[in-house]
């Protein structure tokens, strides 16, 4: 069984990925990263996934780095999280540029120290959302890490992104088959006591359940999910 360091934020995608890898026989170490995101509540859900899967879970504190990542609604307190559909041009304020590269660098360092055979990340291919959430980025990052860790990493160390060619609705369908407890996942960018139902992440979550034909059990602060067409 391969030993795998899995980046799990607590979101729908990464939790489904963890359940998928567990079902495939991976020995998991779940890793969450505090990069200064306002929705740190997501890590509580990563911890729940780790508990259910019987895997260790660690949170890496990079919050000081997050203070330097201005301009994103996820890390900059002066930038409000917009409601879905209110951003009409330019880059999305919900993107933290280079975030996945940052998270993966940490995960690879841990994997080398533990002689793990894989690093896993739950990105879903979406060029409109972030340029480091696609298959081309995954392939290129692995090529770089093979150079960076040569002679120190497990000889089979690789990077896997099992969801990268799936749509979000496909992820819901997969998670449904795996028995993922959806109420133990978090999507909302705002990070309150309940998911807001209005931000881009909440709307994508709602649409994914609808398109997969799966009932969405999430308690939102609004009833916007009932208005999807």
Least-confidence region, from 15-19, 24-28, 124-128: 124-128
SS (H, E, C) 108-142: HHHHHHHCCCEEEECCCCCCCCCCCCCHHHHHHHH
CA distance 107 to 179: 26
Least-confidence region, from 56-60, 67-71, 205-209: 67-71
**What percent of the chain is predicted at pLDDT more than 70?**
93
Residue 229: pLDDT band with limits 50, 70, 90: very low
Cα dihedral 10/14/18/24 (nearest 10): 170
Per-residue pLDDT reduced to its tens digit, 18-64: 999 999 999 999 999 999 999 999 999 999 999 999 999 999 999 99
In the chain the domains, ranked by start, together with CATH numbers, are 3-193 (3.40.50.620)
pTM comes to 0.93
In eight-state DSSP terms, residue 185 is -
């Amino acid at each position: 069984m391969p030993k795998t360091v899995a980046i799990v934020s607590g979101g729908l995608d990464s939790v489904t990925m963890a359940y998928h890898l567990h079902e495939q026989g991976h020995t998991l170490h779940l890793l969450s990263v505090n990069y200064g995101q306002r929705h740190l509540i997501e890590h509580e859900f990563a911890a729940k996934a780790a508990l259910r899967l019987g895997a260790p879970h660690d949170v890496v504190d990079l919050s000081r780095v997050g203070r330097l990542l201005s301009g994103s609604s996820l890390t900059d307190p002066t930038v409000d999280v917009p409601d879905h559909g209110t951003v009409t041009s330019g880059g999305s304020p919900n993107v933290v540029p280079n975030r996945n590269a940052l998270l993966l660098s940490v995960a690879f360092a841990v994997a080398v120290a533990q002689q793990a055979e894989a690093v896993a990340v739950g990105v879903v291919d979406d060029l409109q959302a972030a340029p480091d959430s696609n298959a081309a980025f995954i392939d290129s990052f692995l090529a770089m890490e093979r150079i960076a860790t040569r002679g120190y990493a497990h000889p089979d160390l690789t990077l896997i992104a099992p969801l990268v060619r799936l749509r979000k609705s496909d992820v819901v369908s997969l998670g449904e088959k795996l028995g993922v407890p959806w109420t133990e996942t978090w999507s909302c960018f705002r990070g309150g006591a309940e998911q807001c139902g209005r931000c881009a992440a909440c709307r994508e979550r709602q649409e994914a359940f609808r398109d997969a034909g799966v009932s969405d059990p999430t308690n939102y602060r609004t009833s916007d999910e009932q208005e999807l067409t």
